Structure 1
Amino acid sequence: MPLSKTLRSARRQTSGSSAQPRRRVCRTCNNLDPRGHTSSVYQTESKQGAISALTLVVDALALERTKTPQERGCRYCTVLVQALDEFYEGWRGCRARITVEIREKGSIRVGIEGEKWAGELIEIYARAASRAPWPTLGTAHPIPSNSGSDDTFDFARRCIQDCLTNSKHGACQPSPTSVPVGPKRLVDVGRVTSPIRLIDTQGKWFQYATLSHCWGTGPILTATKANWKKLTSNIPFDALPPLFQDAIIITRQLGLRYIWIDSLCIIQDSTRDWETESSKMGSIYEFSYITISATGAADGSARCLADRRKPIRIDYENTSHKEFALRARKTLDQHPDLNEGKPAKPTGALMRRAWALQEHVLSTRVLHYTATELLFECKTSHRCECSPARRIYPTTPALIPKAIAQQSKHSYGVWEAWQRIVEQYSQRDLTVANDKLPAISGIAHKIKDATGSSYLAGLWKENLASDLLWSSSALVTQVYASDTYRAPTFSWSSLDTAVTYYAPDEDERAVFTPTVKLRSSSIALSGLNALGTVTDGSVMLRGACLPAILSSQLKDNSWEYTLLIKGTSAIRVSHDCMLGANEDTTTSTQEPTVRRANLGFELKPFRAPVLCLSVARYDGWLSGLVLGKSNRVKDAYERLGTFSAGVEAFRKAEEKNLLLV
């Protein structure tokens, strides 16, 4: 719950501040007043005078012991306790910190640290129709109690209409030179005299919505070779899963006649149809009128249009024994972060699915149906039911267009955007492991169209040195190699692990120098998607190489890997996954080699030879790859991890051509 930039940079209160010392100020909650605390900050640029804000971190056990006002305890702490009891079951007795964010004339936001309640907040506010119980407490915009209410649909229509007609939304309009690639099939949502049915567009253009949703593990209606012709005649409304029923209702309410739903508009048991239509998915979402994102639904049995939890009443009595009724409601920490310049992070099951990321990134306009409110995003602005005014915030659909627009000014912008997307994507789940590259191919097509660069199974030829230096997230400790081939080892897509890239500052970026050259590359594709599934891949690189010994040891229940290079101190390796020494040698004189370990491989300490390849240099230090000899391809190497070291470590390195597979 960060403060705005103007508040963060504002001065602290001084003795000359207009706020006067008050008596009996609670040391725990500061009487829920943002003023007068040593941590208070003030926005002095406001036309209304100094606006204060305060963020407190409160110990849960200390707050739990709060006395009631009748026991001469703090009446403000009691407000917090009542709200916590209502929304955070089990908070009493937990050893967690509670964050309380107070902003003058605004609502109070309360959250508890820890995984159990991650992303959940309580919003405490005054009733709009009555006087606030204390001067600094503000009101909150009402949110309808059902996501299918007239008010919610009116909000959605206003957002869409503003995006379509506002001159500032030029980024949301299709380029005059772009040629829309429409879907082969659409669902006709029907009218009074016509049924719901599947239609073949026959190359014609129709205005349509798209649905972004979780399939889940339960039964779902799909188009197959056996039933698709029947679906072109009639799809009974009752035969649709509840989620699809809601999507049909939303489509009708928005004045549209057609919607694209992947499970119905792609023949699922036809490999050719799936490859053809899934390869167009990026364009299908980009050119849709609106994407209906079932963000909070875990599968087709859930609904978009549902009741929301109503706000609760909290009774408060001031020192004059006058009674007030406050309100508190559950909200989600899913709004844009203006301090960091980050877009909204809608919360729900869909945000954990890999396929859904490109649907979010590539859509022009999105309605996110979350558990607490409806969010709207386009390539220009963000709006939500709790803050319905139009705001020019950073958005996810604007990420790639913005990077492309700035490409002439900052050539690295597109590559950084790709790497940030890969970082998010690699944290998400896939039901089918081989969808790793197809599920991000729509975004890859946009990058390829903008840059003209060759695509190497998740990496880009024009940014190869930087792209090669991905590393497994430090949070991932037990990752194993797949038993079946999915991608070359130099690609992040070869593993099921969250990955990160080093983000250099401006000074480091200025001195970043690739130290490898691409001699040749080869990518063997499977299917019709040119940026999809691969069956093989390799790159021939020339760069400075140095032999080393890789040592492994078990420390605090985690395996650590260290490079031992003659004449230098030990270098810690960021390993891609669990590693093991392959001791299946044909003669006793052969040395063991290191390889990625599959699940079931017996992990044990080893010392074995590897090769270190310098990939890029940042002034006085360099980063590179740790390589082991491939058991699959003769005279080739496979990636094991990454390392960083001072340039002096490579003073005796030798230039070589290496084949990576």
Structure 2
Amino acid sequence: MGNSNSKHYECSCSGHDIFLDDPPDKFCSRCEALFSTVKNLQQLTANTRSGDIYKYYTIREAERNASRGCPLCREFRTWAYEWITTGRRSQWFLCTDNAQLPRRGRQNPDSKYSEEVLTSRYIMAVDKAGSERKFLALHRCPPDLKDPSGEFLESTPVSYEMGSYATAIEVVRRINHCAAKHGACDNFSMPYLPSRVISVGSLREAQQARLHIAERGQRGHYVALSYCWGPPGSQALMTRMDNIDKNTHHLNLEALSKTIQDAIAFTRKLDIRYLWVDALCIIQDSPADKESAIDSMGQIYRNATLTLAAANAKKADDGFLKARRSPWNMDRGIQLPFRLPDGNMGKIVAVRCKRISPGSLAANRQPIDYRAWTLQERLLSPRLVVFGETSARWQCQTVQQESIFRSEIQDLTDDFVALPESVFKGQPEKRFKERYQMTTKDKQQTRKEQISLWQKIVVDYTIRQIGDPEDRLPAIAGIVAKLETVWNDRCIAGLWVECLPENLFWSFGGAPLAPSLTQYLAPSWSWVHVNAIKLERRDPRLRIIECSTIPVNTEVPLGKLKGGILRVSGAIRIGEITATFKYDQTWFYIDKGNNITFLQLGYRQGKANKDEQAIGLILMLEDYVHGRNAVYTRIGIFYNSNPLEWDIAEEYIVSII
């Protein structure tokens, strides 16, 4: 409709926690009449270009009525302050989100009830230029009010259970719609089952849940669960060597963690037979089974018919289907008089849509967004239902994230991270060509897309927590495996060969991954051993000679590492570490420190795009090999405001481990 811009919206309440004001007696005339006459309902559903839509107020007029006590004008004033910076005298109009196209031979608006309003989800505010933005989200009244409008309105009720049959029915509808209509999503063929899945049983037949050992080549639709384990001991029951036989006959639901119980219950309502959960489908005290499962983890989520993301649960025993309070401040829902098709009057609940900035979204990350493993579970899942603090939300490769009942946050974020479409296509129509077949322009575009996507993935990944630091590479191995195929490239210790000079431009943004860790994680030039990194897009100026790593298990090349080396040719300058610092009223002066080496990576623009700076790595000498070909470790990054010094710097070959 119109020129609607992609922005951030939220109903200022959750799907469970809308507080209703007592019916006010101070509505202004236009607000009180908004839904109460047949003519107004016709105007609300009229085409926005027809000139016959509902005329509302200017911002100045709404301010005046708000000061007199009209609650809806007060909401419009607040909404306008969030969105509109100029034009307080400009006229605004209102229409529904499903405003109809012009109809030939249309009858007089006074003689026909506009039933389109019964299916409306939003009231849009429209300016004279035709630009639309969501203003109000529409809800049915709570059932306990026994309002007659509930028999006619199809909008989301003020409250609903995320694990209800209504939610499950809507999820099934979306799965079928995605399979039939979404060209960017996969072809929805019957997937191969993982080696073990939970057979959830049937509610109709009262079957018991049990662990199912899949036959080789067995196919079947299955659901995967993505969730947070929480601290040690949060998992009530796991599959081990001593209980696997028992679990294949019967799973005691009461002994399972609440999150797994919820997943089984909801999978049953979806009428899907199988569910994959790591705690039960991997033998937890078998290192060999765990390593095999971790290696295939990406494919398990990639092939799942649907993934359930228990985003609101901090630990396995929390569960994710119970009602929760919204983390955002909630405004009060406003009850407005509503004319029904039978001529009677009922009520409809209107809630202001609130603009959400990317920064505030980041500040309200769900518990699941802090677990490292769940990033690849989300990115590799072709279809996902996210059970959050406020609602259940649908996500696929075509729809970013959308409330199951279209009632809350919309257009969640402009920088939504998604893997390339060809990851989810059985026969990808769009695929990166062999690089030697590419034109120079194609290569530049390919590199730009790689750098941009990998930057988003790594920045998100490195702020997440991981129980075992040695799993830092295995926890994204599934993503890497898919991207290696799509990009026709190799990823070495988290850096891509074709973009290696640019990938080296990372800087330290948080604490070490594990300060007391004695195990080897990755070479010093890799970001794998630190948290919260920042990646920068810069113009590189060095030549890669060699880059390689040594995996712990050669059969799992994308897993744990035990060594690696990077050999480059670049401009070098020598320096020395000295320091002056104060602690507890005492000054310390270090006369002489360790010699260090500066290796230039490239250039960047300074502040306000002025004063080009040289940027590079700070290296500490470890050993000499064959004269000038020395071995170093990376200890930091530098910026130099005098790039001319680097134009005359000599180039050397160095090895970094």
Q: State the TM bucket, normalised to the shorter chain.
A: 0.5 to 0.7
Q: Unaligned stretches of 5+ in structure 2?
A: 9-56, 96-122, 128-134, 143-153, 337-345, 434-441, 606-611
Deviation, 1:225, is 1.8
The 8 Å contact of residues 546 and 613 in structure 1, kept in 2 or not, is answered as: yes
Shift in CA distance, 36/647, structure 1 to aligned 2, threshold 3 Å: closer
Shift in CA distance, 535/329, structure 1 to aligned 2, threshold 3 Å: farther
Deviation, 1:623, is 2.1
Aligned equivalents of 1:26 and 1:605: distance in 2?
Answer: 70
Aligned-pair Cα RMSD in Å: 4.8
Shift in CA distance, 219/37, structure 1 to aligned 2, threshold 3 Å: closer
The 8 Å contact of residues 579 and 589 in structure 2, kept in 1 or not, is answered as: no
Look up the SS of the partner of 1:187 in the other structure.
Answer: strand
Number of corresponding residues: 509
Deviation, 1:40, is 2.9
Shift in CA distance, 407/308, structure 1 to aligned 2, threshold 3 Å: same
Aligned equivalents of 2:589 and 2:527: distance in 1?
Answer: 23
The 8 Å contact of residues 380 and 398 in structure 1, kept in 2 or not, is answered as: no
Q: 2:562 matched to which residue of 1?
A: 535
Q: Does 1:398 align with 2:393?
A: no
Q: Does 1:639 align with 2:634?
A: yes
Deviation, 1:526, is 1.4
The 8 Å contact of residues 295 and 347 in structure 1, kept in 2 or not, is answered as: no
Aligned equivalents of 1:146 and 1:332: distance in 2?
Answer: 23
Shift in CA distance, 442/367, structure 1 to aligned 2, threshold 3 Å: same
Higher mean alpha-carbon deviation, 408-417 vs 246-255, is at 408-417
Deviation, 1:554, is 4.3
Equivalences for residues 549-564 of structure 1 within 5 A = 549-554=576-581
Deviation, 1:145, is 3.4
Look up the SS of the partner of 1:387 in the other structure.
Answer: coil
Structure 2 residue corresponding to 1:202, chosen from 195, 210, 215: 215
Q: Does 1:629 align with 2:621?
A: yes
What do residues 30-62 of structure 1 show as CA deviations (whole Å, max 9, x unaligned)? 944439879834799x998589xxxxxxxxxxx
Q: 2:98 matched to which residue of 1?
A: none
Q: Does 1:488 align with 2:523?
A: yes
Q: Residue type matched to 1:383 in 2? A: E
Structure number with the bigger relative contact order (C-alpha 8 A, sep ≥ 6) is 2
Q: Residue type matched to 2:222 in 1? A: Y
Look up the SS of the partner of 1:171 in the other structure.
Answer: coil
Q: Does 1:267 align with 2:301?
A: no
Q: 2:306 matched to which residue of 1?
A: 290
Deviation, 1:142, is 3.3
Look up the SS of the partner of 1:280 in the other structure.
Answer: helix
The 8 Å contact of residues 414 and 447 in structure 1, kept in 2 or not, is answered as: no
Shift in CA distance, 659/232, structure 1 to aligned 2, threshold 3 Å: same
Q: 1:357 matched to which residue of 2?
A: 375
Q: 1:524 matched to which residue of 2?
A: 550
Shift in CA distance, 332/247, structure 1 to aligned 2, threshold 3 Å: farther
Higher mean alpha-carbon deviation, 538-547 vs 344-353, is at 344-353
Equivalences for residues 62-141 of structure 1 within 5 A = 104=125, 141=156
Q: Residue type matched to 2:200 in 1? A: V
Q: 1:378 matched to which residue of 2?
A: 396
Look up the SS of the partner of 1:232 in the other structure.
Answer: helix
The 8 Å contact of residues 566 and 655 in structure 2, kept in 1 or not, is answered as: yes
Q: Does 1:170 align with 2:204?
A: no
Deviation, 1:276, is 1.3
Aligned equivalents of 2:410 and 2:138: distance in 1?
Answer: 24
Aligned equivalents of 2:590 and 2:348: distance in 1?
Answer: 61
What do residues 107-150 of structure 1 show as CA deviations (whole Å, max 9, x unaligned)? xxxxxxxxxxxxxxxx99787679xxxxxxxx985353322223
Q: Does 1:426 align with 2:462?
A: yes
What do residues 349-398 of structure 1 show as CA deviations (whole Å, max 9, x unaligned)? 11110000100111000011112110110000132045269989878573
Deviation, 1:241, is 1.7
Shift in CA distance, 128/536, structure 1 to aligned 2, threshold 3 Å: same
Shift in CA distance, 128/441, structure 1 to aligned 2, threshold 3 Å: same
Deviation, 1:236, is 2.1
Aligned equivalents of 1:427 and 1:296: distance in 2?
Answer: 18
> How many percent identity over aligned positions?
26
The 8 Å contact of residues 315 and 325 in structure 1, kept in 2 or not, is answered as: no
What do residues 63-96 of structure 1 show as CA deviations (whole Å, max 9, x unaligned)? xxxxxxxxxxxxxxxxxxxxxxxxxxxxxxxxxx
Q: Residue type matched to 1:652 in 2? A: I
TM-score, normalised relative to structure 1: 0.66
Look up the SS of the partner of 2:159 in the other structure.
Answer: coil
Aligned equivalents of 1:157 and 1:355: distance in 2?
Answer: 26
Q: 2:84 matched to which residue of 1?
A: 40
Shift in CA distance, 286/280, structure 1 to aligned 2, threshold 3 Å: same
Deviation, 1:274, is 1.2
Q: 2:53 matched to which residue of 1?
A: none
